[in-house]
Structure 1
Amino acid sequence: MIRCKRVYEAATAADGQRVLVDRLWPRGCRKESLALADWAKDAAPSPELRKQFCHEVELFDEFRLLYRAELAAHPAHWLGLLERARNGDLTLLFAARDEVHNNAVVLAEFLEEELERCGPPSSPVCYAGEF
């Protein structure tokens, strides 16, 4: 399961692996207090896209399209996150105040779709050795 959570909320056991997905380090947070498994800043939107969006809700649909295009063009930036999600719970941490309109939500949607698309193999040959 992939969850999104503000970086300022306390860590819980249900979080699984916690990965910060912002390009900039969140204000007022010390690294040792976040219980991070990783900081995937390359999976965050490009600096240009982040500045263009500037957390304006009315620009979120356009931001979503452009960010998804960036993700599709750079699978190396998110493949590690996909592997973590396959192996257990993953919580994407973000610093934005808006819990609905932010990059972590878009990234979680993208990763969930990739998990579905790349689901378990379906051809009989792929099942060899599984029984």
Structure 2
Amino acid sequence: MPHAKRKSLKIFVKRAYEDATPEDGYRVLVDRLWPRGRSKEILALGQWARDLAPSAALRKWFGHTPTRWEAFQRRYRLELDAQEQQQRMRSLLADAKGQPITLVYGAKDEEHNQAIVLRDVLSHLSEE
């Protein structure tokens, strides 16, 4: 008997300074620090997952320096491999209840930020 094809979960990334839209689904802030000048109402979050953000030491080391991007990704993935982080990610996926997830971040750099790494890790986890 063939397996039913699983519908893949949609996970988006969006800057905190972009307006929320209904298509965003379940919005999750994935920064340790609250984005400047943004209110709870404007961000329209389902949750603030600050513990899933990179450690303070890793965030400071990276400093959004593109030449450190590859090393940052490796180090952040190692942090996300920890048992408690795996549980937090599973909880986040469950909290979204199958709706699209938008990972909200405050960084100016749209190509080198933790939300991109976390999206990839969550996508893989949701397929397990």
* TM-score (norm. length: structure 2): 0.86
The unaligned stretches of length 5 or more in structure 2 are: 1-9
1:50 aligns with 2:59: yes
Moved over 4 A (4+): none
The structure number with the bigger radius of gyration is 1
What is the total number of aligned residue pairs between the two structures?
A: 117
Q: Which residue of 2 aligns with 1:123?
A: none
Deviation at 1:17, TM superposition (A): 0.6
Query: Aligned with 1:55: secondary structure?
Result: coil
CA RMSD of aligned residues (A): 1.2
> Aligned partner of 2:64: which letter?
H
> Aligned partner of 2:38: which letter?
C
With 102-111 and 26-35 compared, the bigger mean Cα shift is at 26-35
Q: Which residue of 2 aligns with 1:79?
A: 90
Query: Aligned with 1:65: secondary structure?
Result: helix
What is the identity percentage for the equivalent residue pairs of Structure 1 and Structure 2?
49
1:31 aligns with 2:40: yes
Deviation at 1:83, TM superposition (A): 2.2
The unaligned stretches of length 5 or more in structure 1 are: 119-131
Q: Which residue of 2 aligns with 1:98?
A: 109
1:16–1:91 CA contact under 8 A, matched in 2: yes
Tell me: CA distance 1:60–1:31, structure 2 relative to 1, closer, same or farther (3 Å).
Answer: same
Q: Which residue of 1 aligns with 2:6?
A: none
1:68–1:106 CA contact under 8 A, matched in 2: yes
1:71–1:77 CA contact under 8 A, matched in 2: no
